Amino acid sequence: MTFTAPKIIASLITALWGFTLALGPVNSESGQPSRTIDVRPYLIEPPTTTTSTLFIDPYATAPEQFAALAVNLGWPVQEYATLVKVITRESNGVAISHNTKDPMSGSYGLMQINGFWCKGANSFLQKAGLITSCEMLLDPQTNLRAGLIIFTRSGWSPWGTAK
């Protein structure tokens, strides 16, 4: 196949014509193509949440690390210092702590959440849909989320003199 000047010119005209059709008609005011592309689906929007994210320092104590995790799970950042104090006092950062001497079958996990909050099908944390048994509170994330639900309802009062 040989390329001659008429074939090359015809190919260029055809390509320009196709490109013009793809862009759409020209806007008479601006001289620009009138068809616009909606780029909103391709934009990266900043997050709309106002929660804080804390770096979990691997050299920090276990209560400090778990308090940072709690903030990352939704606890208010201003409660970080109190979380460290409560986790230290209640479990010393041992996630699987279970104090069987407390009433209502004991207290569970990092924040030593009492069985009152989790025993029975109609317990507060089961109604909230977070757990199905108290033993689930031995998982650190579940325990910290349960603590947040309780804190939102009752403040620090379930933990006695937390403040």
| pLDDT tens sequence across 6-20 | 777 777 777 666 666
CA–chain centroid gap for 21, Å, is: 46
pLDDT at 55: 85
**Does residue 150 register a pLDDT over 60?**
yes
**Band of the pLDDT at 98, cuts 50, 70, 90?**
very high
Q: How many residues does the chain have?
A: 163
Determine what percent of the chain is predicted with pLDDT higher than 70. 72
Residue-range domains of the chain with CATH: 5-42 (no CATH), 62-159 (1.10.530.10)
Q: How confident is the model at residue 36 (pLDDT cuts 50, 70, 90)?
A: low
Please determine, for residue 35, whether its predicted confidence score (pLDDT) is greater than 70: no
Q: How confident is the model at residue 161 (pLDDT cuts 50, 70, 90)?
A: low
Q: Which residues pair with 98 in a beta bridge?
A: 108
> Could you tell me which residue, 27 or 54, shows the higher pLDDT?
54
pLDDT at 33: 56
| Cα 11 from Cα 33, distance rounded (Å) | 23
Q: In this predicted model, what pLDDT tens digit does every residue of 40-87 receive, in sequence order?
A: 665 555 555 555 688 888 899 999 999 999 999 999 999 999 999 999
pLDDT given at position 60: 92
User: Would you say 63 and 88 are in contact if contact means Cβ atoms under 8 Å apart?
Assistant: yes
pLDDT on residue 147: 96
The three-class DSSP label of residue 86 is: helix
